[in-house]
Amino acid sequence: MVTEGALPGRNEDRSGQVTPVVAEGAAYGGSRASRPAGKSFPVGRAFTVPGQVVSVLVLVIPLAVALYMSFTDWTPTRGGLAEAHFTGTENYSELLIWDTRFLEAVARTLIISAICLALEFAAGLGLAVLFMRRFRGKKILFSAFLSPMMVLPVVVGYTFWMLFQANGPVNQILGFVGLSGVEWFKSSLPAVSAVILTEVWHWTPLFFLILLSGLNAVPENPLRAAVILGASPGQLFVHVVLPMLRPVIMVAFVVRTMEIIKLFDEVFMLTRGGPGSSTETVSLYIYKLAFNDFQLAYGAAAAFLVLVGSLFLVHLLLIPVKDHIMEERR
């Protein structure tokens, strides 16, 4: 005779109370795949070990060595790093207080960056609005406008160095329209202008691509409602489209800012920082400190100052994006 305690899924203790019994497989969701992660986690962790080892060897250890180096007076001509004298924050204080060339390079980099970002944003937004329309040859022109972004910076710098020569194509075009040629690399303003034009040509496609993606994602209902209320095309774009594009615009500025602060290749190929130091960016100055003057410790300190400043600048740029995300979650 089958008693109640013998029924499947139930059990009876000595006091006569009936308690449910959960099958071993059901306790883990009825399948082996849903068992506690601790039984298979070591295997999954083992697959991440090679990547972690590479990251430590390539990123963490060199960064730690450079950070320690920045607090010493080490140069390659004075023996090994272990024999260097610990100088504390002397390199950092000298850079921030006494090294006017470093401060000028930082200011120059920020000015060039601001001008380039403004021009690239304006040109990229104009192209994005243009490509929202239908016209012949749109696909071919789209690929053509994106192609500069695919070219290596060194190649771009060398190409524009040839274009801006005294007898180069740029001066020849100026001569055809009745203007006199410009000595682009013999005075400060033309040299800075050449760097800015090179950067704008090279990286406007990045703004164009990001902003075009943002325009394609703008919902149609707010636009239709604004048209029904009598908004003009200009009012529609300024008061409806641009506010919706705000997060996309900020992301584009953050990505491009992180890139342009490291401006080196084009300047190195175009002017080498000249004439004098009129086009010397902070990256080029650090390069000269480390590899021309062999002041590796001093250059490492300058690099860490630039890193901290870049992180702070990117944080400021990301604040509007964070605020927008928080507003949407509410």
* Tens digits of residue pLDDT in 4-39: 444 444 444 444 454 544 444 444 444 444 455 445
CA distance 122 to 108: 21
**Which residue bears the tokens 């636009």?**
223
CA distance 55 to 69: 20
* Nearest alpha carbon to residue 212 among 318, 123, 324: 123
Region 93-329: CATH code:
1.10.3720.10
Residue 40 has a pLDDT of 52
Residue 140 has a pLDDT of 94
* Nearest alpha carbon to residue 246 among 330, 121, 103: 121
Residue 210 has a pLDDT of 96
Query: Which pair of structure tokens corresponds to residue 282?
Result: 């902070």
User: 328 or 146: whose pLDDT is higher?
Assistant: 146
Whole-prediction pTM value?
A: 0.81
pLDDT above 70: percentage of residues in the chain: 87
Q: Give the number of other CB atoms < 10 A from CB of residue 55.
A: 12
Residue 308 has a pLDDT of 94
Q: Tell me what the mean pLDDT of segment 116-142 comes to.
A: 94
User: 56 or 186: whose pLDDT is higher?
Assistant: 186
Residue pLDDT, tens place only, 252-299: 999 999 999 999 999 999 999 999 999 999 999 999 999 999 999 999
pLDDT above 90: percentage of residues in the chain: 63
Within 13 Å and on the Cβ side, how many CA atoms surround 50?
Answer: 3
pLDDT tier at 188, thresholds 50, 70, 90: very high
Q: What are the extents of the domains in the chain?
A: 93-329
Q: At 134, is the secondary structure helix, strand, or coil?
A: coil
User: 149 or 80: whose pLDDT is higher?
Assistant: 149
pLDDT tier at 66, thresholds 50, 70, 90: very high
Q: Answer yes or no: is pLDDT of 85 > 60.
A: yes
pLDDT tier at 48, thresholds 50, 70, 90: confident
Q: Give the number of other CB atoms < 10 A from CB of residue 263.
A: 22
Q: Tell me what the mean pLDDT of segment 145-156 comes to.
A: 94
Residue pLDDT, tens place only, 32-47: 444 554 455 577 788 8
Task: Find the length of the chain.
Answer: 330
Number of H helices, E strands in the chain: 15, 2
